[in-house]
């Protein structure tokens, strides 16, 4: 790897490690200092390596520089705090004795604890996702803005407010108590699930970036699986769901970054290794007596890896959606449930149920109605597709619906 490739690669893998360890060391109040030190470290790497060449062990080089920068910060800051506020935080040990621990174990622990701190119930979901992308995944502001289809200013503001909130709520970077783990884990899993979805469903043209978001969400999930205390059935179920979804990553996007619908996907492009992994984690998740929404969604995703259009398949998917909707309602689950109903029990029954949903501001609702009426009452089908077209926002959606209308023609 040459320098041009190496530094961005190291930035992706090491920035977040350095930031997590330093934030844990300094406390959440000083998360910006940790970020600054990590950024400065990489800046120095750019400058130095360009002239002196890449050091023998680049990671160790980065850690040493980060440690020294942290020590310098402490010594400068100590003079300041001693003189001004009288609060002597680091006085019990000399600067030389301050040890910043960048061992593998402390890196993993710090990242896991940061994950719990960021996914604190007091922090808004939007802020949790922003902070996770920045601090835990090391994405740049540009990249976050690109994937979330917004601008840098919005992301910067969002991150600023999120950090303020972390300070205000005095959130500690620590592992939650055993009695709290299940509750706290629920928020963490929701954030990881959304993080994955941001990548998977993003409308951004940058396919590589979208893929990276998904991979990062999976990496953070595997971080939870590596720790005995958090290696719980729901975590494995989420991982299984992510594997099943990712297996279709290459099949669901064409060369222009546009979505290809499930029915039109080339099965040969499905990643069978990931499908196998999904099955493995779902099996591992099948312990205990609590069924999470991730169990149900992973099972639904499993059935989607079976391409054959059998009644058994759709009857299973229908029952899974029946249960999923009881745990947590969402319009998309309601629509998918009705689609499964039509495949399992026929279009007439499904139309009757679909009419009751009344999701009249949702273009997918009218797309579903159009799909159900097609072949039964083509005029009604066209009317519904046209309604869908008028509600659709993205170019891709509009084009897909227009193609569908043309097909009925």
Name the minimum Å distance from CB 349 to another protein.
9
The residue to which tokens 């469903």 are assigned:
201
* CA angle at 16 for the pair 293 and 76, rounded to the nearest 5°: 135
Beta bridge partner(s), residue 253:
259
Cβ atoms of 305 and 270 within 8 Å: the answer is yes
Cβ atoms of 357 and 366 within 8 Å: the answer is no
Name the minimum Å distance from CB 372 to another protein.
14
**Residue nearer to another protein on the CB measure, 114 or 354:** 354
**Residue nearer to another protein on the CB measure, 321 or 366:** 321
Q: Cα dist. 404→146, 385, 407, 409 in Å?
A: 30, 8, 5, 9
Helices (H), 85-180: 104-118, 125-131, 141-147, 152-168
**Residue nearer to another protein on the CB measure, 259 or 291:** 291
Q: Cα dist. 371→135, 271, 335, 388, 399 in Å?
A: 43, 29, 12, 11, 16
Name the minimum Å distance from CB 247 to another protein.
27
**Residue nearer to another protein on the CB measure, 19 or 384:** 384
d(CA 381, CA 119): 44
**Residue nearer to another protein on the CB measure, 129 or 340:** 340
List CB contacts of 167: < 8 A, sequence separation 6 or more.
28, 29
**Residue nearer to another protein on the CB measure, 283 or 323:** 323
Beta bridge partner(s), residue 97:
none
d(CA 194, CA 148): 12
Name the minimum Å distance from CB 92 to another protein.
53
**Residue nearer to another protein on the CB measure, 202 or 338:** 338
Any idea what DSSP says for residue 132?
I
Beta bridge partner(s), residue 264:
none
Name the minimum Å distance from CB 143 to another protein.
35
**Residue nearer to another protein on the CB measure, 259 or 357:** 357
Name the minimum Å distance from CB 285 to another protein.
22
Name the minimum Å distance from CB 318 to another protein.
7
Name the minimum Å distance from CB 126 to another protein.
23
Any idea what DSSP says for residue 289?
S
Decide: helix, strand or coil at residue 198: helix
Half-sphere exposure of residue 258, counting CA atoms within 13 Å on the CB side?
A: 10
Binding site for another protein (CB under 8 A): 318-319, 321-323, 325-326, 329, 333-334, 337-338, 341, 353, 356-358
Name the minimum Å distance from CB 369 to another protein.
14
**Residue nearer to another protein on the CB measure, 254 or 326:** 326
Residue 44's nearest CA partner among 66, 76, 71 is 66
**Residue nearer to another protein on the CB measure, 177 or 358:** 358
d(CA 193, CA 187): 10
Name the minimum Å distance from CB 350 to another protein.
10
Cβ atoms of 189 and 294 within 8 Å: the answer is yes
Any idea what DSSP says for residue 329?
-
């Amino acid at each position: 790897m040459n320098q041009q490739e190496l530094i961005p690669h190291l930035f992706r893998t090491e920035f977040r490690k350095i930031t997590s360890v330093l934030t844990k060391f300094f406390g959440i109040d000083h998360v910006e200092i940790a970020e600054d030190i990590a950024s400065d470290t990489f800046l120095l790497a750019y400058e130095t390596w360009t002239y002196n060449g890449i050091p023998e062990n680049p990671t160790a080089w980065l850690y040493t520089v980060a440690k020294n920068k942290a020590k310098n910060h402490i010594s400068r800051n100590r003079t300041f705090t001693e003189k001004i506020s009288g609060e002597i935080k680091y006085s019990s040990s000399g600067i030389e004795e301050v040890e910043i621990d960048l061992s593998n174990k402390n890196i993993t622990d710090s990242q896991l604890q940061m994950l719990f701190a960021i996914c604190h119930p007091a922090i808004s979901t939007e802020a949790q996702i922003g902070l996770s992308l920045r601090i835990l995944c090391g994405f740049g502001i540009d990249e976050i803005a690109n994937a979330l289809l917004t601008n840098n200013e919005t992301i910067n503001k969002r991150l600023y407010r999120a950090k303020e909130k972390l300070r205000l709520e005095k959130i500690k970077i620590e592992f939650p108590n055993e009695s709290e783990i299940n509750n706290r884990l629920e928020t963490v899993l929701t954030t990881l699930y959304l993080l994955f979805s941001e990548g998977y469903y993003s409308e951004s043209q940058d396919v590589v970036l979208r893929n990276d978001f998904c991979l990062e969400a999976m990496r953070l999930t595997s971080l939870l699986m590596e720790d005995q205390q958090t290696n719980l059935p729901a975590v494995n179920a989420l991982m299984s769901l992510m594997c099943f979804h990712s297996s279709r990553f290459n099949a669901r996007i064409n060369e222009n970054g546009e979505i290809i619908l499930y029915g039109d996907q080339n099965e040969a492009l499905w990643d069978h290794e990931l499908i196998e992994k999904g099955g493995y984690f779902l099996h591992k998740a099948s312990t205990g007596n609590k069924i999470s929404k991730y169990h149900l969604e992973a099972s639904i995703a499993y059935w989607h890896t079976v391409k054959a259009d059998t009644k058994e398949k759709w009857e299973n998917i229908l029952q899974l959606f029946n249960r999923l909707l009881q745990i947590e309602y969402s319009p998309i689950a309601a629509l998918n449930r009705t689609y499964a109903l039509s495949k399992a029990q026929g279009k007439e029954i499904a139309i009757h149920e679909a009419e009751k949903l009344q999701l009249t501001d949702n273009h997918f609702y009218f797309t579903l109605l159009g799909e159900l009426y097609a072949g039964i009452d083509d005029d009604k089908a066209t009317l519904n597709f046209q309604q869908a077209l008028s509600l659709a926002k993205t170019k891709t959606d509009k084009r897909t619906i227009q193609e569908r209308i043309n097909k009925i023609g």
